[in-house]
Amino acid sequence: MLLGEKKVKKQLSTLLAVVLFFSFLTPVFADNGEGEEETIFDEFTEQELKDNDYILYFVNAGDPTPDTVEGIDKFGLYASVTEQEYKEDPVTGKMWGLTTTTSASSVRDPSNKLGTLRYYNGPQVRDKALAYDFELPEGEYDITFGFKNPWSGARSLCLMAEGQKLSQEDFPIGRDGEEKEITFRRIPVSDGMLNVRVQGPSTGEIHQHNDPLVNYIIIRLSVTLQVSDIEERIEQAKTEASNTAYTPYSREELNKAIADAEKLVQSINNNEKNIDDDETQI
C-alpha cells in the first residue's frame, strides 16, 4: 500500500478540509484520562502545540518576506521564517529547507500564501522536483500541499514523502488560478528527517509546461479529534462559511467539509463509527 493511501482513499478526514481552509479550527489530543497537560516532545507542551494549530513547519513558497506571515498564517514551531534553503534555522536550530538548486519564485500577491509560488526550472528529467527536508522527531505527521497555478496549462504532480508516492495517482493542480489543497495524514518519520518532494508527472511527456510548482506546504503533528471538539468547530466553520472575504471555491469546499463532518458526528453518535477507528481520526 502506498504511504498515506488508506487515509487518502477514505477522504473522510472529516473536518480535515475545515482544518485546511481555516487553520484556527485545530484538532486536539485525546484526553490522557488524568486531566493533566501532556508534554509532546521535549520542546513543547500540548497547549503550546494546540495554540499553534500543531504546525511545526509552514513553508510559504516564493515568499518575498519570509520573516513575516500574512493573515491568519502561523510560523511553524520549528521555524523562524517561512522559507529558506536547507540549513540550520537561525532561531530554532532545526535543519530544514529547500534542497533543490534549480528553482525560481513567482509573486503575484505577496499578501497571502496563494499569491506566491516556487517552480522548478532545471533540466527536463522524469524526477524533476521541488524537494524540502524537515528535521523532526520520530513520529507521525500530516502534510498539506497548497496550489494555485496561475498559468493556462493544466498540470498534475507526483507528491512524495520519505521516498514514496503519497497516492496512486498524480494530483491535478488545475490551471488559471484554480485553488487546490490536499492533506496526507499520519506519515511516519523514523530517521529524524521528513523528506518531501513535489515532483513532475509520473507518466507522459515532460516539458516546461508541466514543471512542478507549489504555493505552500504545512507540516503538522498528527493528532486525534474528540467528538465535542468536532461539533464546536462545525459551528465555527458555519460562521466562516458566510464570510464573503473568502473565495467562492473556498466557501464551497468548506460547506462540503461541514456536511461531511456533520455526517461523521451523526454516525458516531448512532454508534455506527467509533471515534478511535482509524478511518474516523483526522
Can you give the residue range of the structural domain that contains 114? Answer: 29-221
Asked if the structure places residue 198 within a domain, the reply is: yes
Q: Tens digit of pLDDT for each residue in 252-269?
A: 888 888 888 888 888 878
CA distance 143 to 218: 6
Domain total of the chain: 1
pTM score:
0.75
Comparing 20 with 202, which gets the higher pLDDT?
Answer: 202
Asked if the structure places residue 192 within a domain, the reply is: yes
pLDDT at 34: 46
CA distance 255 to 206: 37
Element (H, E) at 228: helix 227-241
Confidence category of residue 10, pLDDT binned at 50, 70, 90 = very low
How does the average pLDDT of the chain come out, rounded? Answer: 84
- Residue 153, phi then psi, degrees to nearest 5: -85, 120
Asked if the structure places residue 205 within a domain, the reply is: yes
CA distance 28 to 11: 20
pLDDT at 269: 81
Asked if the structure places residue 229 within a domain, the reply is: no
Instruction: Select the highest-mean-pLDDT range: 41-50, 183-192, 255-264.
Output: 183-192
Beta strand spans in the chain (E): 39-40, 44-45, 55-60, 87-88, 95-98, 103-107, 116-120, 129-135, 139-149, 155-161, 164-165, 171-174, 178-189, 193-199, 213-214, 216-221
> CB of 23 within 8 A of CB of 73?
yes
Asked if the structure places residue 70 within a domain, the reply is: yes
pLDDT at 40: 55
CATH code where residue 215 lies: 2.60.120.430
Asked if the structure places residue 82 within a domain, the reply is: yes
